[in-house]
């Protein structure tokens, strides 16, 4: 589709669910946006660095249909979710947090910390039923504080009906938080139609932005009710006031920022998003779905252990060949990029993959 825009390895690469490939323009952009001013001893280097962070927020806002001031850069999803969790308004009658057995473990580790203020975790069973909004609605009642929704599960391949789930959460008066780590950049996201309370995400996967550029989107209606504990001078309404006796939360998502930000990863991440946006997420999604269908229709060497139903899947699959170890050996010999999860071989598809990659994969698995 747009392979020439990326540093592509010699063999087919199916690991975008782990690390998206680097755009060819990233090194030059990083040099201009971060390194150049520092190297030159620019007295105003922080002006450029803060503009770099603003550029990241603006690019991401365009990608998900948000406003830039609703986005707060974070180191990673764990950090974002922790800041959000301990900032939430608490109600004595709401002591339950709903999530699933299929969520990425870091979310479970963070949300379990809610036990320190009296909440308990309530898990929905993993499996294809997670694509049915009724199974989520059945768990949501007036004792739920928060529902954590993974848009696309990394080890299931399943895409949840986020808009229906968040609607059920609103009806129950619960806060909804959506994890888009495995969907941002490959599956369309529209915060206006979802009406979630918050999103947490990363730039390292399908956004092709490298590590260290996590982020949070917070609905303004929720933000003004949140009182983060992990604060710093960039959480302040006026960071340059410099009055140690007067802290006031920023009126927007900046209240989740904390201390001095690191602009370096966001220079790379902003360029990754800009590269993705040149093609457009909808077009990339359609392309990836065609590649999955091509592979699913042609491969007959075993079974799919991930969710493969069109319309209910993300951009990855997990397969279990008849002889998994033999298949792993063949893939490794050809240099094809993959990893292993859930007892099978995990593969994902992005804009730089094409039909020739699928054919090479099929030949290696034959």
Taking the domains of the chain in order of start, what are their residue ranges?
Answer: 27-277, 281-365
pLDDT tens for the chain, 366 residues long, are 789 999 999 999 999 999 999 999 999 999 999 999 999 999 999 999 999 999 999 999 999 999 999 999 999 999 999 999 999 999 999 999 999 999 999 999 999 999 999 999 999 999 999 999 999 999 999 999 999 999 999 999 999 999 999 999 999 999 999 999 999 999 999 999 999 999 999 999 999 999 999 999 999 999 999 999 999 999 999 999 999 999 999 999 999 999 999 999 999 999 999 999 999 999 999 999 999 999 999 999 999 999 999 999 999 999 999 999 999 999 999 999 999 999 999 999 999 999 999 999 999 999
Pick the CATH number of 281-365 from 1.10.10.1100, 3.40.50.300, 3.90.1150.10, 3.30.420.40: 3.90.1150.10
Complete DSSP assignment for 198-225 = EEEE-SSSTT---TT-EEEEE-HHHHTT
Give the per-residue pLDDT at 289. 98
Give the per-residue pLDDT at 230. 94
Task: Write the DSSP symbol of residue 313.
Answer: B
Gap between the Cα atoms of 163 and 166, Å rounded: 5
Q: Which fold has domain 27-277?
A: 3.40.640
Give the per-residue pLDDT at 84. 98
Give the per-residue pLDDT at 250. 98
Give the per-residue pLDDT at 2. 80
Give the per-residue pLDDT at 36. 96
Q: What confidence tens digit (pLDDT) does each residue in 151-200 have?
A: 999 999 999 999 999 999 999 999 999 999 999 999 999 999 999 999 99
Gap between the Cα atoms of 101 and 104, Å rounded: 9
Gap between the Cα atoms of 242 and 246, Å rounded: 8
Q: Which residues partner with 175 through β-bridges?
A: 146
Give the per-residue pLDDT at 1. 74
Gap between the Cα atoms of 103 and 126, Å rounded: 9
Q: What Cα–Cα distance (Å) separates residue 165 from each residue in 45, 98, 100, 176, 275?
A: 44, 12, 13, 8, 31
Give the per-residue pLDDT at 119. 97
Q: What confidence tens digit (pLDDT) does each residue in 289-312 have?
A: 999 999 999 999 999 999 999 999
C-beta neighbour count of 75 within 10 angstroms: 17
Q: 163: which 2 tokens?
A: 């808009």
């Amino acid at each position: 589709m747009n392979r020439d825009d990326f540093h592509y390895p010699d063999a087919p690469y199916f690991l975008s669910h782990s690390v998206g490939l680097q755009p060819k323009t990233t090194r030059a952009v990083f040099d201009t946006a971060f390194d150049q001013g520092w190297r030159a001893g620019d007295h105003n280097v922080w002006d450029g660095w803060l503009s770099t962070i603003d550029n990241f927020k603006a690019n991401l806002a365009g990608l998900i249909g948000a406003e830039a001031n609703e986005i707060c850069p974070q180191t990673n999803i764990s950090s974002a979710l922790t800041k959000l969790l301990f900032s939430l308004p608490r109600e004595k009658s709401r002591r339950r947090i709903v999530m699933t057995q299929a969520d990425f473990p870091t979310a479970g580790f963070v949300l379990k910390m809610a036990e320190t203020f009296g909440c308990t975790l309530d898990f929905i069973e993993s499996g294809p039923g997670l694509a049915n909004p009724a199974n989520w609605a059945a768990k949501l009642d007036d004792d739920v504080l928060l529902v954590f929704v993974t848009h696309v599960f990394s080890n299931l391949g399943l895409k949840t009906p986020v808009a229906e789930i968040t609607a059920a959460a609103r009806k129950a008066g619960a806060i909804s938080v959506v994890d888009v780590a495995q969907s941002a950049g490959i599956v369309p996201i529209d915060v206006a139609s979802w009406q979630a309370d918050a999103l947490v995400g990363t730039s390292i996967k399908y956004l092709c932005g490298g590590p260290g550029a996590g982020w949070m989107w917070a609905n303004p209606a929720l933000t003004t009710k949140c009182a983060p504990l992990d604060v710093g001078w960039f959480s302040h309404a006026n960071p340059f006031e410099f009055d140690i006796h007067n802290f006031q939360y920023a009126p927007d998502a900046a209240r989740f920022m904390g201390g001095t930000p690191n602009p370096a990863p966001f220079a790379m991440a902003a360029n990754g998003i800009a590269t993705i946006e040149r093609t457009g997420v909808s077009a990339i999604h359609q392309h990836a779905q065609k590649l999955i269908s091509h592979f699913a229709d042609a491969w007959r060497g075993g079974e799919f252990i991930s969710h493969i139903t069109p319309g209910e899947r993300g951009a990855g699959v997990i397969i279990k060949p008849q002889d998994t170890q033999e298949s792993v050996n063949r893939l490794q010999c050809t240099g094809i990029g993959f990893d292993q999860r859930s007892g099978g071989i995990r593969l994902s598809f992005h804009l730089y993959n094409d039909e020739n990659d699928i054919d090479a994969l099929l030949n290696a698995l034959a």
